[in-house]
Amino acid sequence: MLSLNYYGYGLLVFSLLISLAAAASAGLARPASAQTPQTSLRFFGTGSGDVDRVKIPLDNPHRPVDVGGDFTLEFWINASPGSNTSAPCQESSSSDTWTNGNIILDRDIFGDGDYGDYGVSLYGGRIAFGTTVGSSRRTICGSSDLRDGQWHHVAVTRQSTSGEMRIFVDGQLQKTANGPVGNLSYRDGRSTSYPNSDPYLVIAAEKHDYDPSTYPSFNGWIDEVRISNNIRYTGNFTPPTQPFTPDANTVALYHFDSAPGACNGQVSGSSDSSGQNNHGQCKYGGNPPNQGPQFVADSPFFSNIIYNYRVYLPLVRR
């Protein structure tokens, strides 16, 4: 005959199994082991001190990431409700209004460029994409508020001869318009009074730290940044379900996969995986405890992790 302890153990094990299943369903459990961490970078929108950002050099020497003709910029972002409180998105053909949004990608320069510049922000919750060549400029806005605590795939494209600009969110074309034509790259060997900011592509910050209240930085999660020297999308498409792999048109690819913790210096998670030596550098800092960037165990592909649970049952004697 079995003792009452057997039934007690049975209830305990049953409760444990139910708890594990619920945790896995909610995405709260961690894998027993993983060869490649599925992480993203968490930023806090510090906007000062040249910290809480990733900086990618463009010049001296020239790097392929310095796109200026046809290109596609794409990434995944996650922004919490109530965050990134910039004003409603305003389109413009006379000023760089994208800089007033919470900046995600900043390839701006101070003043009018002898070639040009571009940038992407979360402006009033919507994606804003702007380009400038000389004194000609254009900012366009997407249509949906992405501050919902969910991962969203964002892609913007630019065609150099027509200036056509497009914004895609989760594979859906939200906006198209013509902007400036011609080369908007950072001119090789360009002299500047801002050598610590102008010749860089910066992720998740206004690169000059000029005025955080007017030109705010992004507060949220970013993953899988890919820059291509062609136009990858012209109409609606199915967003990727796995991390990107480099191809002939990939000039920069950042997976942001590393062990959770501070991202400080040139580490594998902020380094380029395209094979074209466009390495970035994490600039860690901010106001404790909100110091970034941080590698965190969250990504648009987190649900693809296989969880291996081991449950050890007590030995019960009859």
pLDDT in tens, 67-107: 999 999 999 999 999 999 999 999 999 999 999 999 999 99
- Which has the higher per-residue pLDDT, 61 or 237? 237
315 falls within a domain: no
Say whether both 13 and 75 belong to one domain: no
Q: What is the pLDDT of residues 191-233, one digit of tens each?
A: 888 888 999 999 999 999 999 999 999 999 999 999 999 999 9
Say whether both 200 and 78 belong to one domain: yes
Say whether both 102 and 227 belong to one domain: yes
CATH of the domain at 198: 2.60.120.200
**CA–CA–CA angle 245, 251, 254 (5° rounding):** 55
Checking if the pLDDT of 306 tops 50, the result is: no
18 falls within a domain: yes
Q: Number of folded domains in the chain?
A: 2
The two tokens of residue 177 are 């318009």
Say whether both 101 and 233 belong to one domain: yes
How much is the average pLDDT of 3-25? 43
What are residue 158's DSSP bridge partners? 71, 165
Banded pLDDT at 119 (limits 50, 70, 90): very high
Q: What is the pTM of this model?
A: 0.82
258 Rama sector, left if φ>0, alpha if ψ -120 to 50, beta otherwise: beta
Q: What local confidence, expressed as pLDDT, does residue 297 receive?
A: 93
**CA–CA–CA angle 192, 194, 198 (5° rounding):** 80
55 falls within a domain: yes
Q: How many CA atoms lie within 13 A of 44 on its CB side?
A: 21
Range of the domain at 26: 1-30
Number of neighbours of residue 213 by Cβ within 10 angstroms? 6
Banded pLDDT at 33 (limits 50, 70, 90): very low
Q: What is the pLDDT of residues 156-196, one digit of tens each?
A: 999 999 999 999 999 999 999 999 999 999 888 888 888 88
Say whether both 14 and 93 belong to one domain: no
Burial status of residue 298 (CB atoms within 10 A of its CB: 0-12, 13-18, 19 or more): middle
| 8 Å CB contact between 41 and 295 | yes
